[in-house]
Structure formats: C-alpha cells, structure tokens
Amino acid sequence: MGELLELLVHHFFDIIRDLGAGKDLKPHLLGHSLHKIAAKIREDPQVKIKIVMGCDSTCEGCSKMFEGRCVDSISHRADFTSKERFNDFIDKKILKACGLKTGEIATPIKLLKKSKFYIGHIFQIYEGNDIKHTQKRRADVVRGGELYSQKFGFGNDAV
Ligand code: SF4
C-alpha cells in the first residue's frame, strides 16, 4: 500500500477550494504542512486518505499543535473559541451530509463525488459564519472540483 494521508474532511474541501480560488501552494507562517498535502492531492487523485478528527497530516510541523492537539483559537464566531472544537463541529456536519465516517479510507475522486452533498448543505454546515464568505467558499469549491476533474479526466457531478 502506498502513502496514507490522514485528513480532517473539511481540510480536503479547503484544498479543493484553494485550487478553485487559484491559490498558490506555499509554506505558512505557522509551519504546518497544508501546502505539502495539498500538492500531493493536486497531483494524485488516487492517493489514499484516512478521514480523522482532531489533528491530521496537514498539522505536521504546526506551532499550534501540542501533544497531538490543536491549541489554536478562532475569533470569527461567538459560539467557539477553540479551533479544534470548531473543526470537530464542522467535520461532524460534513461527514453526516456526505455519508462518510471517521476512520474511512477514501481517495480524492471518491471525496470529490461527495462534494455535491457538501455544496448542497454548505449554508447549514457553515451557519453562523459570514454568509458572503460561505458563498465565496461554495463558488471556489465548485470551481476547484471542475478544475480537478478536468485535469484527471473523470466526471464531476458536484454541481
Ligand atoms: S494544529 Fe491547528 S492550526 Fe495547526 S494546522 Fe492543525 S488545525 Fe491548523
């Protein structure tokens, strides 16, 4: 078996969103590995991804990871300050909407085929966030899914 990435499900859709937004992959000030994991996913639609909660492969090297936990905080919500708790909250909603489970092993192709459910529920998933931000997220995920499926020549039924 080849490399197995561990990923929070929302990180997969963030990577597709960033592709749709035309974002370059480069190191982040926090030192995490999102750019490296995104590059692997952008280049390999068959790479194995294990869906996890908590911290994942993108967190490697992050200055906000302590003893395997995310200790970062968020400020854009009134109901959460812990990034890890907010991530768990969002991920549970995405998993439910997409019919996925923690521990499941998937590929980018499989997860992209689930993106129609993510997109269809995106305003419920991100309820409480700035709606314009969610509208932009939606458009970028749709665009990213189109670009990815065109690049690798498989059908995208995300929209
Ligand atoms: S440890 Fe927290 S801030 Fe760092 S990459 Fe992971 S989720 Fe993001």
Q: Is 71 in the pocket of ligand 1 (CB under 6 A)?
A: no
**pLDDT for residue 113:** 93
Q: Which amino acid makes up residue 145?
A: G
pLDDT (tens, 9 = 90+) of the chain, 159 residues, equals 689 999 999 999 999 999 999 999 999 999 999 999 999 999 999 999 999 999 999 999 999 999 999 999 999 999 999 999 999 999 999 999 999 999 999 999 999 999 999 999 999 999 999 999 999 999 999 999 999 999 998 876 654
Q: Is 70 in the pocket of ligand 1 (CB under 6 A)?
A: yes
Find the 62 Cα to ligand 1 centroid distance in Å: 6
Contact yes or no for 23/151 (Cβ under 8 A): no
Give me the residue label for tokens 């992050």: 62
Give the whole-angstrom CA distance, residue 105 versus residue 27: 27
Strand segments, DSSP code E, in the chain are: 4-7, 48-51, 65-66, 69-70, 105-106
Tokens of 71: 């200790």
Find the 146 Cα to ligand 1 centroid distance in Å: 27
Find the 68 Cα to ligand 1 centroid distance in Å: 10
Rounded to a whole number, what is the distance in angstroms from the first to the last CA of the chain? 32
Residue bearing the CA closest to ligand 1, atom 5 = 59
Residue bearing the CA closest to ligand 1, atom 8 = 59
**pLDDT for residue 153:** 86
Find the 27 Cα to ligand 1 centroid distance in Å: 13
